[in-house]
């Protein structure tokens, strides 16, 4: 919301919650804003948005709640064996989970775009084997 409308609750009344498509649009903007060579190296990573992680993922990760996970990298990172795709290998993919992202957004002061970008950078960072410090540096450079 623009700064001059802050505090005017009437403006929030007609607004729906951001949809899966809205989160995907924010993710695409974030992907296009990544610095080179990170951006071009990320082109083979699919980005998907779902409401929540699957029950199987929640169980595998021993999550107390599906709200505990905002994003997930799925695939074989560039630092792992198998950089060259094998027959039948699924594409590398980043999942963003809408409801946990919106829950986090409701409780913090970051914009929704900043949160989506942070989660996306963090998950793509797993693809490249980056440290948390590397990922925070990239994320900070996008703000």
pLDDT along the chain (143 residues), means of 10: 62 86 94 84 88 97 96 78 57 93 96 94 82 74 64
CA angle 94, 25, 68 (to 5 degrees): 45
Domain membership flag for residue 18: no
Domain membership flag for residue 36: yes
Domain membership flag for residue 11: no
Domain membership flag for residue 100: yes
What is the pLDDT at residue 75? 83
Q: Which residues contact 75 (CB under 8 A, 6 or more apart)?
A: 45, 90, 91, 92, 93, 127
Domain membership flag for residue 42: yes
Domain membership flag for residue 82: no
Domain membership flag for residue 101: yes
CA dihedral over 73, 135, 117, 35, signed as positive or negative: negative
Number of domains observed in the structure of the chain? 1
What is the pLDDT at residue 55? 96
pTM of the model: 0.81
What is the pLDDT at residue 89? 66
Looking up residue 42, the CATH number of its domain turns out to be 3.30.2010.20
What is the pLDDT at residue 7? 67
Q: Which domain holds residue 45?
A: 28-77+91-108
* Contact indicator for 88, 104 with CB cutoff of 8 Å: no
Domain membership flag for residue 95: yes
Write b or e for each residue in 82-112: b if 16 or more Cβ atoms lie within 10 A of its Cβ, otherwise e: eeeeeeeeeebebbbbbebbbebbeeeeeeb
What is the pLDDT at residue 1? 46
């Amino acid at each position: 919301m623009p700064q001059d409308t802050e505090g005017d609750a009437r403006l929030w009344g007609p607004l729906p919650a951001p949809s899966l498509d809205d989160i995907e649009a924010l993710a695409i903007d974030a992907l296009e804003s990544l610095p080179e060579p990170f951006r071009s190296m990320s082109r083979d990573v699919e980005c998907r948005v779902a409401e929540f992680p699957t029950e199987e993922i929640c169980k595998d990760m021993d999550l107390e709640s599906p709200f505990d996970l905002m994003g997930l990298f799925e695939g074989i990172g560039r630092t792992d064996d198998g950089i060259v795709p094998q027959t039948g290998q699924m594409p590398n993919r980043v999942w963003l989970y809408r409801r946990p992202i919106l829950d986090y957004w409701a409780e913090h002061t970051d914009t929704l775009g900043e949160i989506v970008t942070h989660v996306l950078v963090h998950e793509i960072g797993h693809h490249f084997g980056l440290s948390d410090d590397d990922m925070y540096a990239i994320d900070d450079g996008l703000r």
